[in-house]
């Protein structure tokens, strides 16, 4: 039995192991786990790194009580506001605080990774002398409607909401259309791959599957009809958040909804549609509220005509713009798309004593507690861990923007209402694997730039043309090195949601880098060796971004409550706990950086109103 076999054994699939003594990670060395991190600002922060997860699990496990831990070094620092979590929500909260509280009011952001951005970070490769970018998590953005709060906000941080310029084709004839994002479009440039699971041991490609109405797909006639019906149908959309249809959708699963509206079988949903349907919420359709599929469109209308946009490194671009607005020399250069994308982060500028807004990286908050009785308290004490030591700071107010999975453990004395609300937040894991290849002739020969498959590792990828304002080549051809992003979800259809996310996390955390690298290489070889793919020659590098708690996966009842209980997000949004308010995109149930920003705005409003 090899070490890997041991790690992957059924023992590790047990989520309870994560809560008890040794975790699967304890059995792996850091480098076995993190793997290669790429180059540039983000090279030591690919996903949730080994040190961040190991520290967080250990510290939170070691300090479960309501009191503050012992052996805390008091830094003597006092801030008007401390924000826990340096993702888009935490950064936006700090910026709103700076703008609204006044120029002398101090704010510190505590972030546990070695760079800010949270799920909105990027990977960088250097292949054949070209710098390649890819998103680690948060990818696309939808230009907001003119005159809205979000449009003004983007404008204020230097993001022009006009569509970006994208690479042009220099690959000769025939040109294969490339989308602007990493999501599939299902056009003539797409392909479905069927392998052994469908009786095709040598593999079968169906190019332009929807255009061909799935003719030639090795699936049953019944499944073909069901899929075509589902693909072509346009179900009625809720008109308003809270209308009868939205409430109905929130009372059933997405799977039930797909079966009800399209007349398709559970088996077809699970074989072909899950977890891509619902993938924006991290699990398969069986576990999610049907409203999860519609909530963003209902609540966050955008300029459809402009189309979705993508920075070279995904929404790391948004995070970088907010960081620059907060601390102008955090990223040298002008407030332009090009400078903010290209310039290296000036880490020394982030946490200078005396500075009004500060970002302290590599610092895990492990306890946040009011001093004395909550109602009468004037201060909140925040304890954070860094390099094995605990430090204490004080703040007039705190904003918890790190997400439900840490907030519920570290805010001490949290009322029962809030505890119960957070108990209804399930965050699913996700592995974002960025695969750099030296050229993509193996796709071009098939006549595709995007594809989907239904067995093995991953489900889909879509090659995109990149926005050109970064240090990105202005053109693309089949001979260009590119990055292909595989989003790997861990759903176990049919199991209770809590069990699905725990099992998935155990698998994500217990599998070494080399094993994922092997699986990805095998998947590519299975699909593309027939058109010339050779892993040893063509793969330039793989970066894994492991997100232990990637997606809030809203179960039925998440949006509007169930059994006469309020929606859990509403409890946390409506009622700050003394001097502590709550942010992060998960409160909205919509995994989208726009909700990160909007939740931050609301939380800052609450603490300013209180003070
Ligand atoms: C794979 C994936 C793809 C996505 N794609 C898109 C997309 O295309 N478009 C889109 O708009 N959104 C997308 N999202 C949603 C994404 O969640 C939001 O866009 C946004 O980045 C979330 O920001 P946040 O600040 O709310 O949370 P996070 O990004 O999770 O930030 C929270 C930060 O706080 C840190 N933290 C937590 N606890 C502590 C602690 N105790 N001490 C210190 N630090 C702490 C975390 O490590 C993290 O860095 C995607 C998400 C994932 C996972």
Q: Cα(119) to centroid of ligand 1, in Å?
A: 4
Q: Provide the Cα torsion 50, 55, 57, 59; round to 10°.
A: 180
Q: Which among 163, 121, 122, 127 has a CA at the least distance from the CA of 142?
A: 163
Using CB distances shorter than 6 Å, the residues near ligand 1 are 84-90, 110-113, 118-120, 137-141, 315, 364-365, 401-403, 406, 410, 430, 432, 487, 547, 550-551, 584-585, 591-593, 596
Of all residues in the chain, the percent with pLDDT exceeding 90 is 85
Distance 281 CA to ligand 1 centre (A): 13
When pLDDT is cut at 50, 70 and 90, the band that residue 237 belongs to is: confident
Band of residue 168 on the pLDDT scale cut at 50, 70, 90? very high
Tokens 């860094």 belong to which residue?
386
pLDDT, position 18: 37
Q: How many A from CA of 120 to the centre of ligand 1?
A: 6
**Residue 426: what pLDDT?**
98
pLDDT of residue 310 exceeding 70, the answer is: yes
Residues near 179 by Cβ (< 8 Å), separated by ≥ 6? 185, 449, 450, 462, 464, 465
What pLDDT does residue 276 have? 78
- Among protein residues, the one whose CA lies closest to atom 38 of ligand 1: 402
Which atom of ligand 1 lies closest to the CA of 52?
47
Q: 8: which 2 tokens?
A: 């992957």
Q: Give the whole-angstrom CA distance, residue 584 versus residue 557.
A: 20
> What pLDDT does residue 230 have?
87
Nearest CA-CA partner of 296 in 596, 581, 601, 604? 596
Mutate to test the pocket of ligand 1, among 51, 63, 83, 85 (most ligand atoms within 8 A of CB): 85
234 pLDDT band, cuts 50/70/90, is confident
What's the rounded Cα separation, in Å, for the pair 215 and 204?
13
pLDDT of residue 19: 38
Alpha helix stretches (DSSP H) within 466-555: 497-510, 513-528, 535-538
pLDDT(11) > 60: no
CA 36 to ligand 1 center in whole angstroms = 21
Q: What average pLDDT does range 300-323 have in this prediction?
A: 95
d(CA 344, CA 338): 12
Going from the Cα of 402 to the center of ligand 1, the distance in angstroms, rounded, reads: 8
CB-based contact 585:569 (threshold 8 Å): no
Q: What is the pLDDT of residue 23?
A: 56
Instruction: Tell me which of 255 and 30 has the higher pLDDT.
Output: 255
**Ligand 1 atom at shortest distance from the alpha carbon of 139:** 8
Helix (H) or strand (E) holding 397: strand 389-400
Distance CA 535, CA 255 (A): 37
Measured in Å, residue 363 CA sits from the centre of ligand 1 at 16
Q: How far apart are CA 92 and CA 319, in angstroms?
A: 8
Lowest mean pLDDT among 258-272, 356-370, 438-452: 258-272
Report how far ligand 1's centroid is from the alpha carbon of 481 (Å). 28
Quick one: three-class SS letters along 406-459? HHHHHECCCCHHHHHHHCCCCEEEEEEEEEEECCCHHHHCCCCCEEEECCCCCC
Report the alpha-carbon distance of residue 102 to residue 112 in Å, rounded. Answer: 27
Q: Higher model confidence: residue 611 or residue 164?
A: 164
The whole-angstrom separation of Cα 69 and Cα 46 is 30
What would the mean pLDDT of 386-397 be, rounded to a whole number? 97
* Ligand 1 nearest atom to the CA of residue 92, by list position: 25
Distance separating alpha carbons of residues 586 and 405, to the nearest angstrom: 10
d(CA 401, CA 87): 8
Nearest alpha-carbon partner for 582 in 591, 565, 595: 595
pLDDT at 24: 56
pTM for this entry: 0.95
Q: Give the pLDDT of residue 90.
A: 98
Q: How far is CA 91 from the centre of its chain?
A: 16
pLDDT class of 56 with cuts at 50, 70, 90? confident
pLDDT class for 22, splitting at 50, 70, 90?
Answer: low
Instruction: Annotate 67-85 with DSSP letters as a single string.
Output: S--SSEEEEEEEEEEEEE-
- Least trusted range by pLDDT, from 15-24, 364-373, 541-550: 15-24
Does position 277 have pLDDT exceeding 50, yes or no? yes
- Ligand 1 atom with least separation from CA of 547: 53
- Does the pLDDT at position 2 exceed 60? no
Q: What is the average pLDDT score of the chain?
A: 93
Checking phi first, is residue 584 left (phi over 0); if not, alpha (psi -120 to 50) or beta? Answer: left
Bridge partners, residue 381, by sequence:
369, 394
- C-alpha 333/C-alpha 427 separation (Å) is 37
Angle of helix 593-610 relative to helix 149-156, nearest 10 degrees, comes to 90
Q: What residues does 433 pair with on adjacent strands?
A: 486, 544
pLDDT at 290 exceeding the cut of 80: yes
Q: How confident is the model at residue 201 (pLDDT cuts 50, 70, 90)?
A: very high
- For residue 167, what pLDDT is reported? 96
Tell me the sheet residues that pair with 123.
134
Identify the pLDDT of residue 470: 81
pLDDT band at 455 (very low <50, low <70, confident <90, very high): very high
Give the pLDDT score at 531. Answer: 97
CA–centroid distance, 87 to ligand 1, in Å, is 6
Query: Rounded distance, CA 256 to CA 552, Å?
Result: 20
Q: Which residue has the higher pLDDT, 343 or 21?
A: 343
Residue 222 has pLDDT above 70, yes or no: yes
Average pLDDT over residues 527-544: 97
What phi and psi values does residue 498 have, to the nearest 5 degrees?
-60, -40
Q: Which residue out of 360, 584, 585, 586 has the highest number of ligand 1 atoms within 8 Å of its CB and is therefore the one to mutate?
A: 585
């Amino acid at each position: 039995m090899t070490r890997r076999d041991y790690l992957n054994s059924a023992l590790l699939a047990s989520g309870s192991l994560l809560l008890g003594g040794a975790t699967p990670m304890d059995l792996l060395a850091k480098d076995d786990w993190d793997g290669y991190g790429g180059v540039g600002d983000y090279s030591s922060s690919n996903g949730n790194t080994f040190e961040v997860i190991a520290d967080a699990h250990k510290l939170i496990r070691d300090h479960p009580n309501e009191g503050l831990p012992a052996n805390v070094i008091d830094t003597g620092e006092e801030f008007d506001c401390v924000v826990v979590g340096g993702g888009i929500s935490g950064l936006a909260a700090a910026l709103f605080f700076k703008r609204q509280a006044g120029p002398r009011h101090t704010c510190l952001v505590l972030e546990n990774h070695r760079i800010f951005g949270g799920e909105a970070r990027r990977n960088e490769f250097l292949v054949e002398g070209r710098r390649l970018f890819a998103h680690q998590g948060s990818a696309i953005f939808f230009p907001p409607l003119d005159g809205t709060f979000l449009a003004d906000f983007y404008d204020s941080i230097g993001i022009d909401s006009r569509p970006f310029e994208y690479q042009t084709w220099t690959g000769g004839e025939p040109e294969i259309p490339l989308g602007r994002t990493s999501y599939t479009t299902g056009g003539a440039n797409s392909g479905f791959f069927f392998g052994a699971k469908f009786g095709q041991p040598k593999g079968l490609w169906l190019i332009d599957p929807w255009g061909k109405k799935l003719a030639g797909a090795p699936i049953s006639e019944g499944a073909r009809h069901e899929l075509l019906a589902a693909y072509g149908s346009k179900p009625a959309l809720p008109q308003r958040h809270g209308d009868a249809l939205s409430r109905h959708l929130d009372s059933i699963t997405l799977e039930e909804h797909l079966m009800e509206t399209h007349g398709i079988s559970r088996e077809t949903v699970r074989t072909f549609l899950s977890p891509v349907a619902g993938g924006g919420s991290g699990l398969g359709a069986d576990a999610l509220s049907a409203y999860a599929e519609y909530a963003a469109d209902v609540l966050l209308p955008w300029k459809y005509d402009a189309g979705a946009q993508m920075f070279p490194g995904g929404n790391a671009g948004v995070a970088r713009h907010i960081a620059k607005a907060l601390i102008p020399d955090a990223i040298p250069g002008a407030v332009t798309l090009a400078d903010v994308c290209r310039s290296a982060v000036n880490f020394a500028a982030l946490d200078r004593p005396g500075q009004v807004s500060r970002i302290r990286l590599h610092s895990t908050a492990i306890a946040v507690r009011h001093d004395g009785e909550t109602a009468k308290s004037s201060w909140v004490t925040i304890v954070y861990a860094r390099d094995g030591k605990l430090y204490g700071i004080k703040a007039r107010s705190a904003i918890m923007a790190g997400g439900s999975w840490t907030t519920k453990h570290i805010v001490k004395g949290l009322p029962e209402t809030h505890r119960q609300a957070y108990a209804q937040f399930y965050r699913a894991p996700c592995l974002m694997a960025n695969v750099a290849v030296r050229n993509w002739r193996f796709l071009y020969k098939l006549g595709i730039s995007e594809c989907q498959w239904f067995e093995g590792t991953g489900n889909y990828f879509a090659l995109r043309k990149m926005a050109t304002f970064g240090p990105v080549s202005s053109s693309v051809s089949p001979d260009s090195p590119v990055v292909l992003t595989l989003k790997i979800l861990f759903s176990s259809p049919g199991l209770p949601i809590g069990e699905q996310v725990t099992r998935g996390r155990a698998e994500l955390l217990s599998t070494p880098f080399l094993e994922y690298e092997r699986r990805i290489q095998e998947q590519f070889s299975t699909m593309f060796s027939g058109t010339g793919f050779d892993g040893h020659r063509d793969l330039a590098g793989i970066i894994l971004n492991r997100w232990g708690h990637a997606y809030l996966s809203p179960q039925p009842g998440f949006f509007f409550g169930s059994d006469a209980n309020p929606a859990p997000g509403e409890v946390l949004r409506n009622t700050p706990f003394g001097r502590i308010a709550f942010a992060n995109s998960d409160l909205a149930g919509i995994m989208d950086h726009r909700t990160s920003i909007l939740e931050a705005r609301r939380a800052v409003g609450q603490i300013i109103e209180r003070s």
